[in-house]
Amino acid sequence: MAVTIIRSSEFERHFRKLPLKIRENVSDRLRIFVQDEFSPILNNHKLLGRNKDCRSINATGDYRILYREIENSFYLLVDVGTHSDLWG
């Protein structure tokens, strides 16, 4: 089944500000996500609290990608940033 990924304006704004190497890591992780959303390298997990409708995947050791599944195989990238940027 084809996967559709939409980037929110907040995700795009924060993505553009990331260092080039981190942007490359984010793009690599999204390629893995499209192939296998629960690949162990992504550490895909459900969030709690104000982001309880989102999930998080690892882009690097400290950078995370927040996303929400809108429908089956249709995803919205909500935000991207360091752990402290997103929850700090």
57, with CB counted inside 10 A (0-12, 13-18, 19+), is buried
Q: Tell me, what's the pLDDT at 88?
A: 72
**Tokens 């929850």 belong to residue:** 87
Highest CATH level, class, for 4-87: alpha beta
Q: Tell me, what's the pLDDT at 22?
A: 97
**Tokens 């690892």 belong to residue:** 58
CA 87/CA 20 separation, integer angstroms: 23
Mean per-residue pLDDT for 69-76? 93
> Strand (E) positions, 1-88?
4-7, 45-46, 55-58, 63-71, 74-82
What's the predicted TM-score (pTM) here?
Answer: 0.93
Tell me the per-residue pLDDT of 35-46, one tens digit each, with 9 for 90 and over: 999 999 999 999
Length of the chain: 88
Tell me the per-residue pLDDT of 10-34, one tens digit each, with 9 for 90 and over: 999 999 999 999 999 999 999 999 9
For the chain, the structural domain boundaries read: 4-87
Is 57's pLDDT higher than 80? Answer: yes
Least confident of 52-56, 75-79, 82-86: 82-86
Tell me the backbone φ, ψ of residue 20, rounded to 5 degrees.
-50, -45
